[in-house]
Amino acid sequence: MHLQLSAAQRDKLDRGRLVEPLPRPAVNAISGRSSRFWITPDMATLD
């Protein structure tokens, strides 16, 4: 998936700290179609 990011967002992404929330439609699409693969905080800590 290719996202159009602003310079500020790219800067955060480059530093590994992209904290901008997803647009609600994108969240709905992700949670609706792949809810069983939803990443929990526990999973996010795994390398």
CA distances from 4 to 7, 10, 24, 38, 39 (A): 10, 9, 16, 23, 23
Q: pLDDT tens for residues 2-39?
A: 567 677 777 666 665 555 565 666 655 555 555 455 55
Give residue limits of the domains in the chain. Answer: 9-44
Could you give the CA distance from residue 18 to residue 35 in angstroms, rounded to a whole number? 22
Beta carbons within 10 angstroms of residue 9's beta carbon: 14
**pTM attached to this predicted model:** 0.21
